[in-house]
Amino acid sequence: MTAACHTGGAATVTPARAPRLALVGSPNAGKTSIFNALTGLHAKTGNYPGVTVSRFVGTCRVGADRYVIEDLPGTYSLDPISADERILVDVLDGRLDGVARPDALLVAVDATTLRRSLGLVAQLLARGLPTCVVVTFMDELSRRQGRLDVAALGQALGVPVVAVIGNRGQGIAELRETLTGWDHWPVPTIAPPTEAAERDAWAESVLGFAGYHPPQPHRVTQRVDAVLLHPLWGSLVFLAVMVLFFQTVFTVAAPAQDQIENLLGRLSGLVVAHVPEPWLARLLGEAVIGGIGGVLVFLPQIVLLFLLIALLEGVGYLARAAFVMDRVMAGVGLEGRAFVALLSSFACAVPGIMATRTLPSAKDRVATMMAAPLMTCSARLPVYVLMIGLLVDPSARVGPFGAQGLVMFGLYLLGAVSAMLAAWAFKRLGDRRGLALPFYMEMPPYRLPRPRSVLLMVWDSARSFLRKCSTIIVATSFALWLLLNLPVHSAHHLGAAGVDAGDPAAVAAYTVDHSVAAGLGRLVSPVFDPLGFDWRINIGVLSAQSARETFVATLGQVAAANDPEHPDDALRAMTDADGRRLFTPPTLAALLVYFVYALQCMSTVAVLRRETGTWKWPLIAFGYLNGLAWLMAYLARMAVIALGG
The residue ranges that bind other proteins (CB under 8 A) are: 76-77, 79-81, 112-116, 119-120, 123, 196-197, 199-200, 214-215, 217, 225, 229-232, 234-235, 238, 323-324, 326-328, 330, 336, 435, 438-443, 445
Nearer to other proteins, 229 or 241 (CB): 229
Shortest distance (Å) from residue 26 CB to other proteins: 10
Asked if omega into 564 is within 30° of 0 (cis), the reply is no
- Secondary structure of 447-481 in HEC code, one letter for each residue: CCCCHHHHHHHHHHHHHHHHHHHHHHHHHHHHHHH
Cα-Cα-Cα-Cα dihedral of 405, 411, 413, 415, to 10°?
A: -150
Buried b (16+ CB within 10 A) or exposed e, 173-199: eebbebbeebeebeeeeeebeeeeeeb
DSSP assigned state of 248? I
Nearer to other proteins, 28 or 587 (CB): 28
Shortest distance (Å) from residue 435 CB to other proteins: 6
Number of alpha carbons in the 13 Å side-chain half-sphere of residue 302: 26
Cα gap 453→2, rounded to integer Å: 9
Nearer to other proteins, 59 or 136 (CB): 136
Shortest distance (Å) from residue 355 CB to other proteins: 19
> 535-543 and 516-523 helices cross at what angle (nearest 10)?
110
Q: Tell which residue, 329, 354, 352, has the closest CA to residue 341.
A: 352
Shortest distance (Å) from residue 263 CB to other proteins: 45
Nearer to other proteins, 317 or 634 (CB): 317
Nearer to other proteins, 98 or 331 (CB): 331
Q: Tell which residue, 114, 32, 122, has the closest CA to residue 73.
A: 32
Shortest distance (Å) from residue 643 CB to other proteins: 37
Burial class from Cβ neighbours inside 10 Å (0-12, 13-18, 19+) for residue 272 reads middle
Cα gap 413→341, rounded to integer Å: 17
Nearer to other proteins, 67 or 202 (CB): 202
Burial class from Cβ neighbours inside 10 Å (0-12, 13-18, 19+) for residue 492 reads exposed
Query: Are residues 383 and 595 in contact, defined by beta-carbon separation less than 8 angstroms?
Result: yes
Nearer to other proteins, 361 or 545 (CB): 361
- In one-letter notation, the amino acid at residue 84 is D
Shortest distance (Å) from residue 356 CB to other proteins: 20
Phi-psi category of residue 13: left, alpha or beta, with phi > 0 → left and psi -120 to 50 → alpha: beta
Nearer to other proteins, 335 or 460 (CB): 335
Shortest distance (Å) from residue 440 CB to other proteins: 5
Nearer to other proteins, 85 or 549 (CB): 85
**Other residues' Cβ atoms within 10 Å of the Cβ of residue 167:** 19
Shortest distance (Å) from residue 321 CB to other proteins: 11
Nearer to other proteins, 79 or 569 (CB): 79
Shortest distance (Å) from residue 315 CB to other proteins: 16
Nearer to other proteins, 44 or 199 (CB): 199
Shortest distance (Å) from residue 142 CB to other proteins: 15
**Other residues' Cβ atoms within 10 Å of the Cβ of residue 462:** 17
Shortest distance (Å) from residue 553 CB to other proteins: 44
Beta strand pairing status for 161-163 and 397-398? unpaired
Helix (H, G, I), strand (E, B), or coil: what is residue 80?
Answer: coil
Shortest distance (Å) from residue 445 CB to other proteins: 8
Nearer to other proteins, 234 or 645 (CB): 234
Phi, psi dihedrals of residue 446, rounded to the nearest 5° = -65, 135
Helix (H, G, I), strand (E, B), or coil: what is residue 330?
Answer: helix
